[in-house]
Amino acid sequence: MKLKFIDLFAGIGGFRLGMEKAGHECVGWCEIDKFAQKSYKAIHETEGEWFSDDIRTVDPRDLPSFDCICGGFPCQAFSVAGKRGGFEDTRGTLFFEIARIIRERKPKLVFLENVKGLINHDGGRTFGTILNTFWELGYDVEWQLLNSKNFGVPQNRERVFIIGHLRGTSRRKIFPIRRISQKTNINIIGTTVNQEAKGTNSRHWVHDVNGHVGALSATDYKQPKQIMCLGLLDIKGSEQVRRYYSIKGLAPTLDTMQGGNRQPKIKIIDRLEKKTDKKINT
């Protein structure tokens, strides 16, 4: 079934790209960042589509007819890389702007994405509030934590995907999505804290900053450690900024960076360096 969808918090159109590849049609989009808007228009054909630069000012009655709302609502308030202000951060409260539109228009589907940290923020209460909001709006919810590395992307990027189905409409269950050799990590509405999602991503590291291999666990044959952190550079900044990685492993999660020398640093052994070492050794 072909869906007409609204792309909220559109960025440069990642959600849109996937939805259009699946055969669906974008009828409108919303993005506040002027530079992202420029990229979005350059990448996608947007002529004649509804547009807003601020979800807080959107009147739901002005939106065109649509079946689905998509949105990667701001994640900084819930990310483990940030201060995790949650709903106390104004960016965290933007979820309720989505809820405002849903309440007025009642689309058949709602398709949202956010960081893994949303699941266990404030002991699971934040995520529970989101699920309960969906329930009160008349939606049955399913959700799953997925990692981009299981879908052909050389990056460890875990994100929770949430799908709301308008109660009373016919629906096909989407989750769980599985891949070969992937242990499914899924909780459906009714569970607000994913035990496997707590803490850091340390199980994915193959080396710590001292060059030691982390302890092997009984499940490593199913999910081997794949991000290789080789050490810390002697530069200014936090530990996250100073880390450098092996070319043989996955990239760590890529964030917006926005300067500050925060891009992932990969150690590549120069061919000349190899030849020099060989001459010295002989």
The Cα 157–Cα 115 span in angstroms is 9
The Cα 163–Cα 131 span in angstroms is 10
Instruction: Please provide the DSSP assignment of 174-233 as one string.
Output: -PPP--TT----EEETT----GGGSS-SGGGEEE-TTSPPPPP-TTTTTS---EEEEEE-
Q: Report which DSSP code applies to 56.
A: G
Instruction: Please provide the DSSP assignment of 158-177 as one string.
Output: EEEEEEEEETTS-----PPP
Tokens 């058949």 -> residue: 108
Q: How many CB atoms lie within 10 A of CB 222?
A: 10
CB 212 within 8 A of CB 225: no
Give strand pairing partners of 232: 243
Known catalytic membership, residue 75: yes
C-alpha torsion sign, points 225, 226, 232, 238 = negative
Q: Is 57 exposed, middle or buried (0-12, 13-18, 19+ CB in 10 A)?
A: exposed
The Cα 266–Cα 245 span in angstroms is 5
Q: Which of 30, 68, 70, 75 is catalytic?
A: 75
Helix (H, G, I), strand (E, B) or coil at 109: strand
User: Hey, which residues are catalytic here?
Assistant: 75
